[in-house]
Amino acid sequence: MLTLTSPSALLALLGLLVPLAIYLWNRRPGPEVAVGSLRWLAAGANRRLRNLKPEQLALLLLRAAVLGALAVAVAGPAWRQVRPAGRGQVLVGPELAGTPALAAARPGLDSLRRRGYAFRWLAPGLPAASPDSLGRYGGPAAGNFAWARVRQAADSFPGQPLRVVVASTLRGLQGPHPPLPAAVRWQLLPPGTPAAAWLAEAAASADSLRLLVGRSTATQTTFRPVAVAVARPAGGGPLRVPGLGPLRYLTAADGTDRLRPDSAAPGPGLAVAGPLRAVLYATPGHAEEARYLRAALQAAALGLAAPLQLTTATVAPASATGVNWLFWLSDAPVPAAWRAAAARGAHVWQAAAGPGAADTAQLVAPAAEAAAVALFRRTRLPATVGAPLWTDARGRAVLTRQAVGQGAFYYLATRLQPAWSELADSPALPALLLEVLRPARAAAAFDAHDQRAFDAAQLPAGPAAAVRARPATAYTFADLRPWLVLLALLLFAAERGLARRTAALSPTV
Residue 227 in 3-state DSSP? strand
Q: Are strands 257-261 and 270-271 parallel, antiparallel or unpaired?
A: antiparallel
Distance CA 1, CA 247 (A): 71
Distance CA 419, CA 141 (A): 46
Distance CA 437, CA 300 (A): 8
Distance CA 88, CA 148 (A): 19
* Residue 471 buriedness (CB in 10 A; 0-12 / 13-18 / 19+): middle
* pLDDT the model gives residue 237: 64
What's the DSSP call for residue 444?
H
16 closest CA partner among 75, 72, 87: 72
Residue 41 in 3-state DSSP? helix
DSSP string, 134-201: TT---SS---SBHHHHHHHHHHHSTTS-EEEEEE-BGGGB-S------TTEEEEEE--SSPP-EEEEE
* pLDDT the model gives residue 183: 81
* pLDDT tens per residue across all 509 residues of the chain: 777 777 776 777 777 777 667 666 655 555 555 555 555 555 454 544 444 445 677 777 887 888 888 878 887 788 776 655 557 899 998 888 888 888 888 888 888 888 888 899 888 888 888 877 787 887 777 777 788 888 888 888 887 889 999 888 887 877 777 788 878 888 888 876 666 788 888 887 767 778 888 888 888 888 888 877 665 555 556 777 777 777 777 776 666 777 777 665 556 677 777 788 899 999 998 999 999 999 999 998 888 888 888 999 888 777 777 788 999 999 888 888 888 888 888 899 998 888 888 988 888 655 444 567 888 998 887 766 778 888 887 878 888 888 888 888 999 999 998 999 988 888 888 888 988 887 766 666 777 778 888 877 777 654 433 333 344 455 667 888 888 888 888 888 888 888 888 777 766 54
B/e letters for 122-138, b = 16+ CB within 10 Å, e = fewer, are bbeebeebeeeebeebe
* pLDDT the model gives residue 370: 56
Q: Alpha helix locations (H) across 219-275?
A: none
Distance CA 251, CA 257 (A): 4
Identity of residue 480: L
Question: In whole angstroms, what separates CA 367 from the centre of its chain?
Answer: 20
Q: Which CATH architecture has domain 276-438?
A: 3-Layer(aba) Sandwich (3.40)
Query: CA-CA-CA-CA torsion for 411, 382, 394, 289, nearest 10 degrees?
Result: 40
CA 84 → CA 159, 322, 381, distances in Å? 8, 68, 53
Domain-wise residue ranges, the chain: 2-82+478-505, 89-193+452-468, 197-271, 276-438
What's the DSSP call for residue 45?
H
Beta bridge partners of 201: 212
Residues 6+ apart with CB under 8 A from 52: 24, 27
Distance CA 360, CA 270 (A): 43
Distance CA 154, CA 156 (A): 6
CA 43 → CA 25, 37, 54, 498, distances in Å? 19, 10, 21, 35
391 closest CA partner among 372, 418, 369: 372
Distance CA 358, CA 375 (A): 9
Whether the CA torsion 72, 77, 79, 80 is positive or negative: it is negative
Sheet holding 257-261, edge to edge: 237-239, 247-251, 257-261, 270-271
Question: Is residue 362 within 8 Å of residue 375, measured between CB atoms?
Answer: yes
Distance CA 427, CA 219 (A): 22
